[in-house]
Amino acid sequence: MLGNFAYCNPTKLYFGDESLKYLNTELPKYGANVVLIYGGGSIKKNGIYDEVVKILKENGKNVAEIAGVMPNPTLEKLYEGVEIARAHKADLLLAVGGGSVCDYAKAVSVSVNCDEDPWEKYYLKFEEPDCEIVPVGCVLTMVGTGSEMNAGAVITNRETKMKIGHVFADESVMPRFSILNPKYTLTLPHYQMVSGIYDIFNHICEQYFSGEDDNTSDYISEGLMRSVINSSRIANKDPQNYEARSNIMWTATWALNTLVAKGKSTDWMVHMLGQAVGAHTDATHGMTLAAVSLPYYRHIMPYGLAKFVRFAKNVWNIDTAGKTDEQIANEGLAAMEDWMRELGLVMNISELGANEEMLEAIAGSTIVMTGGYKTLEHNEIVDIFRESL
Amino acid sequence: MLGNFAYCNPTKLYFGDESLKYLNTELPKYGANVVLIYGGGSIKKNGIYDEVVKILKENGKNVAEIAGVMPNPTLEKLYEGVEIARAHKADLLLAVGGGSVCDYAKAVSVSVNCDEDPWEKYYLKFEEPDCEIVPVGCVLTMVGTGSEMNAGAVITNRETKMKIGHVFADESVMPRFSILNPKYTLTLPHYQMVSGIYDIFNHICEQYFSGEDDNTSDYISEGLMRSVINSSRIANKDPQNYEARSNIMWTATWALNTLVAKGKSTDWMVHMLGQAVGAHTDATHGMTLAAVSLPYYRHIMPYGLAKFVRFAKNVWNIDTAGKTDEQIANEGLAAMEDWMRELGLVMNISELGANEEMLEAIAGSTIVMTGGYKTLEHNEIVDIFRESL
């Protein structure tokens, strides 16, 4: 049942191998002071940094930089960036990188003019911004998080070992524009590519696996899942396949821009589990999700059996003749496991640095959400992590 | 292949049985002068008019009206509305009705401040507006056209018997907000309901049937088609089923808000054929599409066989074992025909008032587009219309 909801996603997307030139269309809309935000410097090696800086200069921009935004951006880094953006009187925050860089830019954007502590306000109290939000633009170089077209921003507090994502309700937090050039993703290492692919797939799963009803969102989700499965198999064998990489990039955007969540009561428990692993190990986001997914889904399957049967039939084309619902559902998850192994995803958390002794602590820092098929108890979370070892 | 494109759709949607109250959220954003636009007066019978006027008054608006917007709104009516909006110094055009009323409001919005003749500029030369566009809001009472979240506006010139749709490239032409309350659609006559349903389905088909490549848009389209087929069967038996009607309403919006056209080279030939029939008969839009679709698709099938095979498998679950591609494709179209007959759609143009003597004239006013599987010659168009009789 779709229920009552609002939908608004004003982010302007420029997609394709020639999309960077549209920075020239967007930059004149903002004041002169731009803060360029990027990560570990790969954009300097592959030339994207030089191209972007050239365009900024041609548009007469006064540029400051926040460099070294790490995967799982930290609260310390957020504080540092806020100071830089304030000192520069930023008119635009231009993120050039993957989801962590875009997330980070959004976290800065709601904190520059905020008098309160952003961790306290946005990540512990989950409040909405009541200050002026600095506009954000993105040039995406990695695919998976969907951060380029949503109002989400995940920040990690290393001190308290909490990795928390806040999806802001206010669409003003969404990037004003994002430039999506699939070519930029062609040079990513295989590990990063498949990690992003699993992140996409899991975003769809998180929204799909809730409710029993017949909802347009689930049909769109099935289409997106079929697309990403198909393109990922092509890209896994041939990472330079532009068509496959462009479909993956586009699917990523639509997997997490609120569309397929409409009418769904999502709990995002795979992310809660994976983020707890990430906070304790600093592992790559998509791989933390991959490592906990199957133990989690096998655990909740009995509570949402009809949806797992539908998943098996509509996403994995499982032949249902003469089988029980449990058999069909299990075959669906087995097909998903085959696909995950084919891609070379990390299938257990011990590979990511977790061990038996850490399970209680990781489980303790897992945020438990409601809205899915089963609200997890602490002992169930420990069991799922143990299964994931 | 997705290619290079831009995507931006800033329309804010309020969806659900309580969505009308969000007019109170939107109205304060605009000046005092509102032009209320509606059709034949059904909104006065079902109480929506009174509810909307009450909210307008409570928000202190100064309201003028354009009443009697007809299905297939005419150029004369456009000229009349432009005069009313100019005289009222309209700050907001509030359309309350179906696709024709929304289309009409958008046509007025780009014409109020335009010095040139709108028919000449927008419908013959297909130019973009270079004047200030008056904001449009919609309260949707019928489902199908997707006009609530796109920049399209179809206008009919009765004098020249031309019905032309212009999908503006400028996203400022899109409604600023649209209120989608599925309850408003529950009282529609069956004929109108299924006509809207076919309009939705055909919008998706028009975008799906182009290209041979593997494109995320096609996967989303298949999901939307499966959703509308499923919900339409429920609504056809039980028109008061809110869940089915809400899924249909939501699918309609996403079938024609530019998303599933990304990466596709569409020709919209079913609409070109149907609109020519509409211009000569004034028949209901969705029924003109239904009446010409199967003869058209059977005609172009050999030129896009692989896609028709995919359509049969992924949309209609046709069992492919031991069959040729032609057989599979034909079975897909036969399944589509069964569904259309089940809904009670008009399956030929003679029921809509066309006859053998009119075929040449209707074919003559059919706009021929490229970008699909086959660019039609005049004699092919006549043949398709003859098959549709």
Q: Are A251 and B216 an interchain contact pair (Cβ–Cβ within 8 Å)? A: yes
Q: How far apart are CA A85 and CA A93, in angstroms?
A: 8
C-beta of residue A167 within 8 angstroms of C-beta of residue A125: no
Same domain, residue pair A226 and A359: yes
Nearest to B69 by CA among B108, B31, B30, B112: B108
What pLDDT, on a 0 to 100 scale, did the predictor assign at position A1? 62
What pLDDT, on a 0 to 100 scale, did the predictor assign at position A240? 97
Q: Are B220 and A216 an interchain contact pair (Cβ–Cβ within 8 Å)? A: no
C-beta of residue A111 within 8 angstroms of C-beta of residue A134: no
Closest CB to A214 among B216, B222, B243 = B243
What pLDDT, on a 0 to 100 scale, did the predictor assign at position B388? 97
Nearest to A4 by CA among B244, B18, B149: B18
CB within 8 A of A112, min separation 6: which ones?
A: A82, A85, A86, A90, A131, A134
Assigned token pair, A388: 């994931």
Environment class of A377 (CB within 10 Å of its CB; exposed 0-12, middle 13-18, buried 19+): exposed
Helix, strand, or coil (residue B289): helix
Q: Are A15 and B4 an interchain contact pair (Cβ–Cβ within 8 Å)? A: yes
pLDDT tens string A140-181:
999 999 999 999 999 999 999 888 889 999 999 999 999 999
Which residue in chain A has the smallest CA separation from B176? Answer: A8
Helix, strand, or coil (residue B10): strand
Same domain, residue pair A171 and A212: no
Interface A:B, Cβ pairs < 8 A: 130
Quick one: residue B244, left, alpha or beta (phi over 0 = left, psi -120 to 50 = alpha)? alpha
What pLDDT, on a 0 to 100 scale, did the predictor assign at position B279? 86
With a pLDDT cut of 90, the percent of chain B lying above it is 93
Could you list the residue range(s) of the whole structural domain that residue B71 is in?
12-184
User: Does the ipTM exceed 0.90?
Assistant: yes
Environment class of B45 (CB within 10 Å of its CB; exposed 0-12, middle 13-18, buried 19+): exposed
What pLDDT, on a 0 to 100 scale, did the predictor assign at position B214? 81
What is the Rg, in whole angstroms, of the alpha carbon atoms belonging to chain B? 20
Assigned token pair, B122: 């927008």
Q: How far apart are CA B17 and CA B185, in angstroms?
A: 11
- For A162, phi then psi, to 5°, come to -120, 125
What pLDDT, on a 0 to 100 scale, did the predictor assign at position B345? 98
Q: Kindly state whether residue B280 falls inside one of the protein's structural domains.
A: yes
Q: Are strands A92-97 and A62-66 parallel, antiparallel or unpaired?
A: unpaired
Same domain, residue pair A317 and A175: no
Closest CB to B15 among A2, A14, A220 = A2
Q: Are strands B162-167 and B152-157 parallel, antiparallel or unpaired?
A: antiparallel
Same domain, residue pair B62 and B179: yes
What's A64's domain CATH number? 3.40.50.1970
Low-confidence ranges of chain A (pLDDT < 70): 1
- Number of domains, chain B: 2
Q: Are A224 and B219 an interchain contact pair (Cβ–Cβ within 8 Å)? A: yes
Q: Is the pLDDT of residue B256 over 70?
A: yes
Which residue in chain B has the smallest CA separation from A242? Answer: B1
Q: Kindly state whether residue B70 falls inside one of the protein's structural domains.
A: yes
Q: Is the pLDDT of residue B2 over 90?
A: no
Closest CB to B220 among A213, A215, A223 = A223
Closest CB to A2 among B219, B223, B247 = B247
Q: Kindly state whether residue B270 falls inside one of the protein's structural domains.
A: yes
Q: Kindly state whether residue A3 falls inside one of the protein's structural domains.
A: no
| Chain B residues with beta carbon closer than 8 angstroms to that of A243 | 1-2, 213-214
Which residue in chain B has the smallest CA separation from A19? Answer: B4
Same domain, residue pair A270 and A289: yes
Q: How far apart are CA B193 and CA B98, in angstroms?
A: 11
Same domain, residue pair A178 and A194: no
C-beta of residue A375 within 8 angstroms of C-beta of residue A210: no
CB within 8 A of A389, min separation 6: which ones?
A: A348, A349, A350, A354, A355, A356, A359
Q: Is the pLDDT of residue B291 over 70?
A: yes
Q: Is the pLDDT of residue B41 over 90?
A: no
Domain end residue (candidates: A184, A218, A246): A184
Q: Kindly state whether residue A76 falls inside one of the protein's structural domains.
A: yes
Q: Is the pLDDT of residue B250 over 80?
A: yes
State the average pLDDT over residues B185-200.
95
Q: Are strands A152-157 and A162-167 parallel, antiparallel or unpaired?
A: antiparallel
pLDDT tens string A295-312:
999 999 999 999 999 999
Same domain, residue pair A134 and A201: no
C-beta of residue A380 within 8 angstroms of C-beta of residue A359: no
Same domain, residue pair B91 and B240: no
C-beta of residue B134 within 8 angstroms of C-beta of residue B82: no
What pLDDT, on a 0 to 100 scale, did the predictor assign at position A58? 98
pLDDT tens string B328-369:
999 999 999 999 999 999 999 999 999 999 999 999 999 999
| Chain B residues with beta carbon closer than 8 angstroms to that of A13 | 6-8
Closest CB to B7 among A13, A224, A230 = A13
B282 vs A50: which has the higher pLDDT:
A50
Q: How far apart are CA B124 and CA A322, in angstroms?
A: 60
State the average pLDDT over residues B135-157.
95
Query: In angstroms, what separates the C-alpha of A2 from chain B's closest C-alpha?
Result: 7
H/E stretch holding A144: none
Q: Are A224 and B220 an interchain contact pair (Cβ–Cβ within 8 Å)? A: yes
Q: Kindly state whether residue B5 falls inside one of the protein's structural domains.
A: no
What's A209's domain CATH number? 1.20.1090.10
What pLDDT, on a 0 to 100 scale, did the predictor assign at position A2? 74
Substitution target from A247, A253, A313, A316 for chain B, most B beta carbons within 10 A: A247
Q: Are B12 and A6 an interchain contact pair (Cβ–Cβ within 8 Å)? A: yes
Same domain, residue pair A93 and A137: yes
Same domain, residue pair A166 and A256: no
- For A163, phi then psi, to 5°, come to -110, 110
DSSP 8-state secondary structure symbol assigned to residue B127? P
CB within 8 A of A343, min separation 6: which ones?
A: A194, A197, A198, A232, A236
Nearest to A205 by CA among A64, A315, A103, A69: A315
* Cβ neighbour number for residue A24 with a 10 Å cutoff: 11
Q: Kindly state whether residue B4 falls inside one of the protein's structural domains.
A: no
Q: Is the pLDDT of residue B1 over 70?
A: no
* Cβ neighbour number for residue A342 with a 10 Å cutoff: 13
Nearest to A251 by CA among A112, A132, A144, A367: A144
Same domain, residue pair B129 and B204: no
Q: Are B243 and A15 an interchain contact pair (Cβ–Cβ within 8 Å)? A: no
**Average pLDDT along chain B:** 96
Domain end residue (candidates: A131, A163, A184): A184
Same domain, residue pair B115 and B201: no
Q: Are B226 and A219 an interchain contact pair (Cβ–Cβ within 8 Å)? A: yes
Domain end residue (candidates: A136, A162, A184): A184
Q: Kindly state whether residue A136 falls inside one of the protein's structural domains.
A: yes
